[in-house]
Structure 1
Amino acid sequence: MSDEYDTFTGEPRSESVRDRLIGATIRLLADAGPAEIKVRRIADVTGVSTVAVYHHFGGVRELLEAVVGTGYRALKAALENASNADPDPGAQLFAMALACRELAQRNPHLYDMMFGLSTRGTYRYVADAPKDGPVAAFVDAYTVFADACHRLVRAGRITIVDGYVVAAELWSAVHGFVTLEIAGHFTRFPHPVTDVLASMAVNHLVGMGDDRDRAQRSATTAIAWWEIRHA
């Protein structure tokens, strides 16, 4: 597990003041939500003066941009790890869905902020942000997912030949599931991963031209990898 992945829970990567401020903000998001992200509170939790926040980031907006960028880098690390689940690109994609789900469950408020589902004051995710900002960090993470979709296409598993179309459709499905689950909409299902996510993933692959048995094996392989990883 990488340092960036750990940072998603608010554990600082180093003893630098900048990283400590990012970690404190991530923990506040997890514990209290975006409404409580205030300079004084962040400074108190970190054990520094409020001047440090402005010195390192300029203000809360810039601090939150750094937090969102950190979240995307954590997502990228998790997706890269999931890509090693199995040589089967279908299993890789399903493992990536499980990795995304875990990150969202670890810190739902951070996940919401990363994808513009919640805001804090002057901060909102915007598509025309600086090229070296959070949007670029998301593109880096999304590319890992898209690469697995390209491998699925090259393997001849599906009839769609544009891997970017596959990535857009599957990412939309995974993001929808993750968002609805953390909002509490799947509590009626005893096992949301197998009852909803796996079934949806298999159906999507079959709809794209995959063999159902082969698609089911991909899901089963990924779940087995996930269970071993968390044993």
Structure 2
Amino acid sequence: MSPRKLDMHLRAKLLDIAARLLAEEGPQAITARRVADEAGISTMPVYTYFGGMSGLVREVVYEGFARMQHHFTLVRRTDDPVSDMALLGRAYRRNALANPHLYATMFGGSSLAGLQLSEEDRQYGRYTLAGVVECAGRCIAAGRFREADEYLIAHQMWSATHGLVNLELGGYLVAPYDAEVCFEAQLVGLMVGAGDSVEDARRSVERSRERQESELRQIP
């Protein structure tokens, strides 16, 4: 295939294939030939787009965070910042469920085919928290959260939601305490833990649930 005919759809397809192989079969499955065969193309696009396998794997991580950031940008800023914060949590979860193979490789570890993420790579992921930090600041300014470091609040929201999503993707959350039940309770608990009242937190979380179908849309 001529490089002139390459497009962003093919690039995204190669990233999805690499992420799936990493998540399902491990780093030994990641070769230029295997990825190209799965895509039904020659190996040339792997090198054209990514410069080789290490570049491909690094771009898998970046693509995962880019899709997460896209979901975050769908959340409108309203006069109820706690509802906005809860909806950011819903966006995080929805992205993970829509892109499970990418999500499984976003945070490094042994699954990255020998690629060691640098501090710069990890900072790329941290940048996606900027909107969560800003929202935490608005929650504090509105008197809904107690005075605290908004960066710490954002990290607490991130780590708690990340843990629940990992359990959900692993199939560990089942009835009567399935992922939906645990997630809704967790959202309220996180807002209360940050300083909101139980009644106000419940109202805002419910408002975020009502907003999600109109504001959050899955991406490929």
Task: Compute the TM-score of the two structures, normalised by the length of structure 1.
Answer: 0.79
Tell me the amino acid that sits aligned with residue 95 of structure 1. Answer: L
What is the match of residue 207 of structure 1? 193
From 32, 47, 58, give the equivalent of 1:54.
47
Q: Work out which structure has the larger RCO, using CA pairs closer than 8 Å and 6 or more positions apart in sequence.
A: 2
Q: Is the 8 A contact 2:57 2:115 kept in 1?
A: yes
Q: Is the 8 A contact 1:93 1:145 kept in 2?
A: yes
Confirm or deny that 1:99 pairs with 2:91.
Answer: yes
Inter-CA distance 229–204: structure 2 relative to 1 (3 Å threshold): closer
Q: Take 2:155 and 2:147, find their aligned partners in 1: how far apart are those partners?
A: 12
Inter-CA distance 203–153: structure 2 relative to 1 (3 Å threshold): same
Q: Take 2:31 and 2:77, find their aligned partners in 1: how far apart are those partners?
A: 40
Q: Take 1:221 and 1:183, find their aligned partners in 2: how far apart are those partners?
A: 28
Tell me the amino acid that sits aligned with residue 33 of structure 1. Answer: E
Query: How does 1:126-141 map onto structure 2 within 5 Å?
Result: 126-128=117-119, 131=120, 134-141=121-128
Give the % identical residues: 27
Q: Is the 8 A contact 2:144 2:196 kept in 1?
A: yes
Aligned pair count reads: 210
Higher mean C-alpha displacement, 209-218 vs 100-109: 100-109
Inter-CA distance 154–127: structure 2 relative to 1 (3 Å threshold): farther
Q: Is the 8 A contact 1:85 1:222 kept in 2?
A: no
Question: Shift of the alpha carbon at 1:169?
Answer: 1.1
Inter-CA distance 34–140: structure 2 relative to 1 (3 Å threshold): farther
5+ residue gaps, structure 2, are none
Tell me the amino acid that sits aligned with residue 61 of structure 2. Answer: V
Tell me the amino acid that sits aligned with residue 100 of structure 2. Answer: P
Question: Shift of the alpha carbon at 1:127?
Answer: 4.5
Tell me the amino acid that sits aligned with residue 87 of structure 1. Answer: D
Confirm or deny that 1:78 pairs with 2:62.
Answer: no
What is the match of residue 174 of structure 1? 161
Query: How does 1:110-189 map onto structure 2 within 5 Å?
Result: 110-116=102-108, 119-124=111-116, 126-128=117-119, 131=120, 134-189=121-176
Task: Compute the TM-score of the two structures, normalised by the length of structure 2.
Answer: 0.82
Tell me the amino acid that sits aligned with residue 44 of structure 2. Answer: V
Q: Is the 8 A contact 1:177 1:197 kept in 2?
A: yes
Tell me the amino acid that sits aligned with residue 214 of structure 1. Answer: D
Question: Shift of the alpha carbon at 1:29?
Answer: 3.1
Inter-CA distance 103–52: structure 2 relative to 1 (3 Å threshold): same
What is the match of residue 222 of structure 1? 208
Q: Is the 8 A contact 1:22 1:66 kept in 2?
A: no
Question: Shift of the alpha carbon at 1:176?
Answer: 0.8
Q: Is the 8 A contact 1:96 1:145 kept in 2?
A: yes
Q: Is the 8 A contact 2:71 2:216 kept in 1?
A: no
Deviations 1:49-86 (A, max 9, x none): 2233234323212101112111111111101112x174
Secondary structure at 1:184 match in 2: coil
What is the match of residue 33 of structure 1? 24
Q: Take 1:143 and 1:21, find their aligned partners in 2: how far apart are those partners?
A: 27
Tell me the amino acid that sits aligned with residue 70 of structure 2. Answer: A
